[in-house]
């Protein structure tokens, strides 16, 4: 993992002291709320419905066991015993007191954590494939480049007041688990004809009220030019992006209005001026950062572990969990283990202090002390020996963390919604809970197969509803919660936006509507066909007919 | 004329509070001063703005309520949830205060 150097340490420590002074001046009256609000937001501190909310950065979703234990400690000492993992791979605490926040940040700094770049119109915390460094389908570890971007973007003076927030995602694998086509900039690692690794550069993706799939403006960017090319994109955006209208300020609007081809031309022209300047990445610097992400000391193992295979044959519960929650590891004899934060009827993404501590322990014992956070609001133990998997499963089960539903219907993304969020129009979490309870029988879910449901409580789309196979958007109709359903979205390498199926459903009716959609899919699907494939073949009509037949 | 109260968040912890007839801030909606007179509502908001300057609360605003059979309730779903706490965690927020669980069971 990356370790802070003296610059990082100084920067974070100084920031904590600055914020301590700012909070003191706010409480003494030297700073008004108008003056203080942008300062607290620069430190990840929001005011939500019931209390302040502190968003802590987890750069590219990588955590150590020591850091996870610290999050548990913060949850217990300063909050109400839990944290919420978000679709940006971050963690949020829902109940901190203003006067405590400097202490929280100081404690976080002791484990190299902070809340910088979690708010404001800057380049936000970089996200990446949660299987980075472990995935069998990976060209190179995307965290190396995510960390380089992190160092370049943190407090970048030219890009601290962009027209709007700016999100960058990186994946090193062909199977996109980082939703790179739905970010302001997405970087997809590719090989050129010579076999060299570089990046496909995608710009102008995003969700919110104007969902757009990003457009490729460069099919191959050599690694050494990564920062100069990003700088060129940001310069074009910073200069031409709209500042007159909050809803038209994201880069996706600029790219759409300019046209991707013309936008690419502007970027290339800017890049030509700076590509051989100070931002070119020398080989030794790449190697230095790469060394931080060196693989752990794997044991040489056989690809097949007999006791693991035997356990799968003997125990159908274990076999089911393996089928959904394990992913292929690049190292023979190892597996990537997903830990679902979506127990049946639970709050998606919430973890109690006890659960965090248990997982920190499992990570130390079974996964070289490493944990990952996924944008689908689950956690990952990235490097587990296959022969340890049965013991880990038993331990997870005892801690209530062995739900076998990764990628299934109840593995629902849900934003905090109207239960917590100041921007929400409707609740999202209880809709997720009711769907998960309705389909609570895991055997039924395994029979249905992979199905992605994503729920947002407002048009800002933190719950990624546009890219759910079944997307649910909460709206307010005369003070009542209604839910608009879209079908056919996807966040992966086949990124697609869902289509609205028809009039919205009431809070009481939305779960029945989801069940009707699922039943219709089961009726029409051919053997082995996923939800979006069936939908592409039969169209929306059969679903509409079933949903609105009684109306 | 719409019956309204002034609500805000307390500066120190962000807790939801309501302006009372005495000019104090209560965590309980039923203790708020409600008025259906626009001039009176403007006065309440002025008092609230002074509390912002005095660093007691932030972001005050007028919010419509109803009164039926002596029970005062917020109108919008947002304000109902602000008045009680997250509906998905009944152990948190105002609804979890001793003696208050029964009252919020029926709501939302």
Length of chain A, please? 551
Whether pLDDT at B103 is above 80 = no
How many pairs of residues across A and B have Cβ atoms under 8 Å apart? Answer: 71
Query: Whole-number mean pLDDT of chain B?
Result: 94
DSSP state for residue A193 in the 8-state scheme:
T
**Average pLDDT rounded to a whole number, residues A150-174:** 96
Which of A419, A422, A431, A458 is the mutation pick for testing B, counting most B CBs within 10 A?
A419
Q: Which residues of A touch B88 (CB under 8 A)?
A: 347, 419, 427, 429-430, 433
Model confidence band, residue A479 (pLDDT cutoffs 50, 70, 90): confident
**Average pLDDT rounded to a whole number, residues A480-506:** 97
Which of A35, A37, A50 is the mutation pick for testing B, counting most B CBs within 10 A?
A50
Give me the helices (H) in A55-100, please: 65-78
Determine the distance from the C-alpha atom of residue A424 to the mean position of all C-alpha atoms in its chain, rounded to a whole number.
19
Q: Concatenated DSSP letters for B5-60?
A: EEEEEETTT--EEEEBTTS-EES-GGGB--B--HHHHHHHHHHHHHHHHTTSEEEE
Q: Are B77 and A481 an interchain contact pair (Cβ–Cβ within 8 Å)?
A: yes
Which residues have a Cβ under 8 Å from the Cβ of A313 and sit 6 or more positions away?
A319
Cα–Cα nearest to A531, from A472, A470, A477, A471: A470
Evaluate the CA torsion angle A269, A272, A277, A282 in order and state its sign. Answer: positive
Which residues have a Cβ under 8 Å from the Cβ of A297 and sit 6 or more positions away?
A368
Whether pLDDT at A148 is above 80 = yes
Q: Shortest CB distance from A52 goes to which of B14, B85, B92?
A: B14
**Cα(A187)–Cα(A172) distance, integer angstroms:** 8
Tell me the CA distances in angstroms from A550 to A164, A503, A545, one per residue in order.
Answer: 44, 13, 9
Q: Which residues of A touch B56 (CB under 8 A)?
A: none
**Average pLDDT rounded to a whole number, residues A286-294:** 95
End-to-end CA distance of chain A: 56
Q: Are B59 and A480 an interchain contact pair (Cβ–Cβ within 8 Å)?
A: no
Q: Shortest CB distance from B16 goes to which of A50, A99, A424?
A: A50
Find, in chain A, the residue whose alpha carbon is nearest to that of B56.
A27
Find, in chain A, the residue whose alpha carbon is nearest to that of B86.
A419
Evaluate whether A123 touches A153 at the Cβ level (below 8 Å). yes
Q: Which residues of B touch A45 (CB under 8 A)?
A: none
Q: Which residues of B touch A27 (CB under 8 A)?
A: 11-12, 55
Q: Are B86 and A51 an interchain contact pair (Cβ–Cβ within 8 Å)?
A: no
**pLDDT above 90: percentage of residues in chain A:** 98
Q: Tell me the pLDDT tens digit for each residue of B47-92.
A: 999 999 999 999 999 999 999 988 899 999 999 999 999 999 999 9
Q: Are A47 and B93 an interchain contact pair (Cβ–Cβ within 8 Å)?
A: no
Question: Shortest Cα distance from B37 to chain A (angstroms)?
Answer: 23
Token pair for A67: 């850091």
Question: Shortest Cα distance from A512 to chain B (angstroms)?
Answer: 20
Q: Are A33 and B58 an interchain contact pair (Cβ–Cβ within 8 Å)?
A: yes
Q: Which residues of B touch A433 (CB under 8 A)?
A: 88
Evaluate whether A166 touches A122 at the Cβ level (below 8 Å). yes
Q: For residue A20, count other CB atoms closer than 10 A to its CB.
A: 15
Question: Shortest Cα distance from B39 to chain A (angstroms)?
Answer: 26
Q: Which residues pair with A91 in a beta bridge?
A: A56, A85
Evaluate whether A46 touches A119 at the Cβ level (below 8 Å). yes
Whether pLDDT at B108 is above 70 = no
Q: Shortest CB distance from B14 goes to which of A51, A80, A481?
A: A51
Q: Are A51 and B13 an interchain contact pair (Cβ–Cβ within 8 Å)?
A: yes
DSSP state for residue A279 in the 8-state scheme:
T
Question: Shortest Cα distance from B90 to chain A (angstroms)?
Answer: 11
pLDDT confidence of residue B106: 62
B56-81: burial string, b at 16+ Cβ within 10 Å, e else: bbbebebbebeeeeeebebebbbbbb
pTM of the model: 0.97
**Average pLDDT rounded to a whole number, residues B100-107:** 70
Q: Are B89 and A480 an interchain contact pair (Cβ–Cβ within 8 Å)?
A: no
Residues of A with CB under 8 A from a CB of B: 26-27, 29, 33, 47-52, 80, 95, 97-99, 347, 418-420, 424, 426-427, 429-430, 433, 476, 479-481
Query: Whole-number mean pLDDT of chain A?
Result: 97
**Cα(A77)–Cα(A97) distance, integer angstroms:** 11
Question: Shortest Cα distance from B93 to chain A (angstroms)?
Answer: 7
Q: Are A418 and B59 an interchain contact pair (Cβ–Cβ within 8 Å)?
A: no
Model confidence band, residue A72 (pLDDT cutoffs 50, 70, 90): very high
**Average pLDDT rounded to a whole number, residues A459-465:** 97
Find, in chain A, the residue whose alpha carbon is nearest to that of B81.
A419
Evaluate whether A154 touches A117 at the Cβ level (below 8 Å). yes
Q: Are A479 and B52 an interchain contact pair (Cβ–Cβ within 8 Å)?
A: no
B102 and chain A in contact, CB less than 8 A? no
Interface of B with A in 5-64 (CB under 8 A): 9, 11-16, 52, 55, 58-59
Question: Shortest Cα distance from B66 to chain A (angstroms)?
Answer: 14
- Could you give the 3-state DSSP secondary structure of residue A433? helix
- Domains of chain A and CATH, by start: 6-109 (3.90.480.20), 134-292 (3.30.413.10), 306-398 (3.90.480.20), 413-548 (3.30.413.10)
Evaluate whether A412 touches A342 at the Cβ level (below 8 Å). yes
> Which range is least confidently modeled, A1-5, A211-215, B56-60?
A1-5
Interface of B with A in 68-97 (CB under 8 A): 75-78, 81-82, 85-89, 92-93
Determine the distance from the C-alpha atom of residue A44 to the mean position of all C-alpha atoms in its chain, rounded to a whole number.
17
Q: What is the largest CA-CA distance in chain A?
A: 68
pLDDT confidence of residue A463: 98
CA-based angle A437:A440:A445, to the nearest 5? 130
Q: Which residues of A touch B13 (CB under 8 A)?
A: 51-52, 95, 97-98
Token pair for A41: 């937001």
Q: Are B77 and A51 an interchain contact pair (Cβ–Cβ within 8 Å)?
A: no
**Average pLDDT rounded to a whole number, residues A159-164:** 96
Find, in chain A, the residue whose alpha carbon is nearest to that of B16.
A50
pLDDT confidence of residue A549: 85
Q: Are A426 and B77 an interchain contact pair (Cβ–Cβ within 8 Å)?
A: yes
In degrees rounded to 5, what are phi and psi of residue A329?
-100, 150
Q: Are B82 and A50 an interchain contact pair (Cβ–Cβ within 8 Å)?
A: yes
Q: Shortest CB distance from B76 goes to which of A26, A50, A479?
A: A479
Q: Tell me the pLDDT tens digit for each residue of A174-189.
A: 999 999 999 999 999 9
């Amino acid at each position: 993992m990356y370790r802070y150097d003296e610059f990082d340490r100084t920067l974070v420590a100084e920031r904590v002291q600055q914020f301590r002074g700012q909070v003191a001046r706010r409480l003494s009256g030297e700073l008004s709320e108008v003056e203080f609000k942008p300062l607290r937001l620069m430190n990840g501190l929001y005011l939500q419905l019931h209390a302040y909310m502190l968003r802590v950065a987890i750069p590219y979703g990588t955590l150590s066991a020591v850091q996870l234990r610290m999050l548990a400690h913060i949850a217990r000492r300063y909050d109400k015993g839990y944290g919420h993992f978000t679709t940006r791979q971050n963690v949020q605490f829902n109940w901190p007191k203003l006067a405590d926040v400097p202490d929280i940040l100081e404690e976080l700094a002791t484990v190299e954590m902070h809340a910088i770049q979690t708010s404001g119109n800057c380049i936000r915390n970089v996200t990446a494939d949660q299987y980075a460094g472990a995935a069998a389908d990976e060209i190179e570890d995307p965290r190396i480049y995510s960390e380089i971007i992190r160092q370049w973007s943190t407090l970048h003076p030219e890009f601290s007041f962009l027209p709007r927030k700016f999100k960058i995602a990186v994946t090193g694998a062909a199977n996109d688990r980082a939703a790179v086509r739905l970010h302001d900039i997405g970087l997809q690692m590719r090989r050129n004809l010579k076999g060299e690794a570089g990046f496909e550069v995608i710009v102008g993706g995003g969700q919110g009220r104007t969902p757009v799939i990003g457009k490729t403006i460069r099919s191959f960017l050599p690694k050494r030019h990564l920062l100069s090319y990003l700088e060129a994109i940001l310069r074009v955006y910073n200069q031409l992006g709209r500042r007159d209208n909050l809803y038209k300020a994201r880069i996706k609007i600029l790219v759409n209005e300019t046209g991707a081809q013309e936008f690419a031309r502007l970027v290339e022209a800017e890049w030509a001026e700076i590509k051989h300047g100070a931002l070119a990445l020398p080989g030794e610097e790449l190697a230095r950062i790469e060394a931080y992400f060196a693989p752990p000391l794997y044991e040489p193992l056989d690809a097949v572990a007999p006791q693991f295979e035997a356990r799968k044959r003997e125990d159908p519960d274990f076999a089911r969990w393996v089928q959904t929650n394990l992913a292929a590891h690049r190292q023979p004899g190892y597996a990537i283990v997903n830990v679902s934060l979506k127990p049946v009827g639970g709050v998606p993404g919430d973890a109690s202090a006890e659960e965090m501590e248990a997982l920190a322990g499992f990570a130390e014992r079974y996964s070289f002390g490493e944990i990952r956070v996924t944008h689908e609001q689950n956690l990952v133990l990235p490097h587990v020996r296959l022969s340890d998997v049965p013991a880990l499963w038993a331990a997870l089960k005892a801690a209530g963390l062995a739900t076998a539903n990764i990628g299934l219907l109840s593995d629902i993304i849900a934003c905090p919604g109207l239960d917590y969020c100041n921007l929400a129009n409707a609740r999202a979490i209880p809709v997720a809970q009711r769907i998960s309870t309705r389909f609570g029988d895991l055997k039924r879910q395994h029979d249905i197969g992979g199905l992605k449901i994503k729920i947002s409580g407002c048009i800002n789309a933190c719950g990624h509803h546009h890219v759910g196979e079944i997307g649910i958007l909460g709206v307010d109709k005369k003070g009542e919660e209604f839910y608009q359903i879209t079908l056919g979205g996807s966040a992966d390498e086949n990124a697609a936006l869902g289509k609205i199926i028809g009039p919205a459903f009431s809070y009481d009716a939305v779960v029945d509507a989801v069940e009707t959609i699922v039943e219709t899919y089961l009726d029409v699907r051919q053997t082995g066909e996923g939800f979006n494939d069936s939908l592409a073949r039969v169209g929306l009509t059969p679903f509409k007919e079933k949903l609105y037949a009684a109306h | 004329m719409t019956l309204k109260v002034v609500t805000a968040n307390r500066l120190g912890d962000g807790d939801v509070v309501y302006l009372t007839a005495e000019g104090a801030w209560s965590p309980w909606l039923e203790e708020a001063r409600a008025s259906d007179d626009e001039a009176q509502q403007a006065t309440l908001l002025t008092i609230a703005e002074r509390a912002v300057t005095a660093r007691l609360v932030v972001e005050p605003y007028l919010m419509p309520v109803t009164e039926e059979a002596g029970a005062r309730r917020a109108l919008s779903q947002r304000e109902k949830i602000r008045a009680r706490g997250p509906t998905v965690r009944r152990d948190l927020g105002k609804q979890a205060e001793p003696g208050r669980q029964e009252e919020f069971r029926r709501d939302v």
